[in-house]
Structure 1
Amino acid sequence: MNSKRAVQVGDIFATPLPMNKYGAVKVMNIIDRSYLLGITNYIGEQRPTIANQNVRQILITKSLLNEKEEPTFKWVDGRLPEELIYIGNIPLVQEELGIESNVYGGIWSKECGMDVYYKWREETDPQGFKSEMQKKIEEADANARRNKIMKPKKMIDDQVFWSTISLLDWGKEDEEAIVEAAIKELSTFTAWKIRHFEETLSYKLFLLDTEEHAKEIGEYSFSQQDQHFSPDLFLYARCAVVAHGKEVFEDIVSNPSKMLKDTEFEILLSLSSEAYYVKKGKEFEYESGCSYETFSNKEGWSNTL
């Protein structure tokens, strides 16, 4: 716990890092309750002292913006975290005066010195670091999806949607042949209408994303004890319901026990992207207001999530 009452320019604070290590940050500027921190080169298992040369040197890292190697500075707001430990003050030298930075690190927290840890990990264990960062990104994405407020954006007229779905040709055996006519029709829509179609499809899949429906998909149905449930397979099963038309969809939405068994139709998810490519010759980029990914419907999974 720090014993420093008022933060001053030049103050050096030891910061806790993972793996029982310490880093250190230096206060370079103060404007009201905002502090410009310089992340120092120090990383070690011992708490740094003011005599250590590495606390006098600012960490050099590669900029995400221009790939240039630059000193690491960031602005933070708020109170000095109690986990930081004051170790002394080193007055700014001439070249440190007036340093500017457009990097904002958010609220001042005990993680403010993590940059030196990331660089150390990247240098000492590049593969492990890459896996660690990928896992963090995936966890952050999953958390963002869980906390996202699901609300559909503008959708296409329901009659137009089902009319397009009705063009799926179940007389064909090949899935690409089944969807060919629907894609052709959809490609005649405006770009915005294709987006509205995608929004409508996403919302209907979202409505089917419930635990009760997942319990009725056949061999790989959801249960609290069974580990064989596949979120992707459940999504493709929901696609099959929509693909079979309005009457089937509306019946199953209201009656989960009538869910189609051991049936999937993943290719339905590609209708909008294929039609958009036919129309524009470009990749389809669109984020729907309601995600069709399994577990997105919080209300539908209220007993599990």
Structure 2
Amino acid sequence: MMMTWAGFWALIGTLGGRADEDGCNRLAVELSARPVLDIRGFAERLSEALYRLDQEKFGTLPVADLTLPDGEPFPQSGDGFLYSRCAVVAAGQSVWESVFFDVDRFAPYTASTCDGEPLLYVSDQAYRLATGEEWDRSTRYCFETFSNRDGWPHLQA
């Protein structure tokens, strides 16, 4: 049976709202003590949570704390947008749910100081700790920027 959303969000809650290296390492250790099925379930839920956030309304927000030399907004890069989505997930279920109803709630997570990248590696690290092997994983949902075609309607042919 796949990990429930409640189980996923409970694990995310151990991060204390931030996907920093220390928190993500602790989460990986905690996850590694569980069955491999739970590690896979966590990876599936994480990929789906990130996929659902892969939307134009969030990806076209400028970086919150940067401007171009001419004073214009600084656009998010594809990787930067992925790391912002990770930061939103790490902030917890209530934040993740709220951004869908108010795009302005997503904006602070675009700041250059708000990097959720370490969350991407929790499942891999947990699997390695649990099995001693590298995990060449694939999940049902691709979380790379622009993967959610419904979230980027102007890119559809």
Q: Give the TM interval when normalised to the shorter protein.
A: 0.7 to 0.9
Q: 1:290 to 1:228 in 2, by over 3 A?
A: same
Check whether the contact 1:234–1:294 (CA below 8 A) recurs between aligned residues: yes
Q: Measured at CA, do residues 237 and 156 of structure 1 come closer, stay the same or move farther in structure 2, by a change above 3 Å?
A: same
Corresponding residue for 2:88?
Answer: 241
Q: Following the alignment from structure 2 to structure 1, what is the Cα–Cα distance between the partners of residues 53 and 125?
A: 24
Gaps of 5+ in 2: 68-72
What secondary structure is seen at the aligned counterpart in 2 of 1:218?
strand
Residue 207 in 1 paired to residue 52 in 2?
yes
Q: 1:298: which partner in 2?
A: 149
Is the CA contact 1:203–1:290 (under 8 Å) kept in the aligned structure 2? yes
The offset of 1:187, in angstroms, is 0.6
The count of residues paired between Structure 1 and Structure 2 equals 146
Across the aligned residues of Structure 1 and Structure 2, the Cα RMSD in angstroms comes to 2.4
C-alpha displacement of 1:201: 0.2
Are the aligned partners of 2:54 and 2:147 in contact in 1 as well (CA < 8 Å)? yes
Cα distance change on mapping 1:157 and 1:170 into 2, 3 Å: closer
Distance in structure 1 (CA, Å) of the matches to 2:89 and 2:132: 27
Shift in alpha-carbon separation, 1:256–1:227, aligned structure 2, 3 A: closer
Aligned match of 2:38 = 193
State how 1:20-169 maps to structure 2 within 5 Å. 155-169=2-16
Q: Does 1:285 align with 2:132?
A: no
Pick aligned residue for 1:271 from 95, 116, 122: 122
Equivalent residue of 1:295, what SS?
A: coil
CA distance in 1, matches of 2:115, 2:12: 15
Task: Go from structure 1 to structure 2 and tell me whether the alpha carbon gap of 1:178 and 1:228 turns closer, same or farther (over 3 Å shift).
Answer: same
Q: Alpha-carbon deviation of 1:184?
A: 1.7
Does 2:110 align with 1:261?
A: yes
CA distance in 2, matches of 1:246, 1:229: 23
**Normalized against structure 2, the TM-score is what?**
0.83
Check the 8 A contact 1:237/1:265 in 2, yes or no: yes
Q: Write 1 or 2 for the structure with the bigger share of strand.
A: 1
Instruction: Return the match for 2:79 from 215, 232, 252.
Output: 232
TM-score under structure 1 normalisation?
0.44
Structure number with larger C-alpha Rg: 1
Which residue of structure 1 lines up, in the alignment, with residue 28 of structure 2? 183
Q: Could you list the runs of 4 or more consecutive aligned residues of structure 1 that deviate by over 3 angstroms after TM superposition? A: 226-229
| Structure 1 gap ranges (5+) | 1-153
Partner Cα separation in structure 2 for residue 155 and residue 212 of structure 1 = 30
Which structure has the highest helix share of the two? 2
- Alpha-carbon separation, structure 2, partners of 1:158 and 1:280: 24
CA distance in structure 1 between the aligned counterparts of 2:60 and 2:99, rounded to whole angstroms: 13
C-alpha separation between the residues in 2 aligned to 1:169 and 1:248? 12
* Alignment correspondent of 2:70: none
Partners of 1:255 and 1:155 in 2: how far apart?
Answer: 30
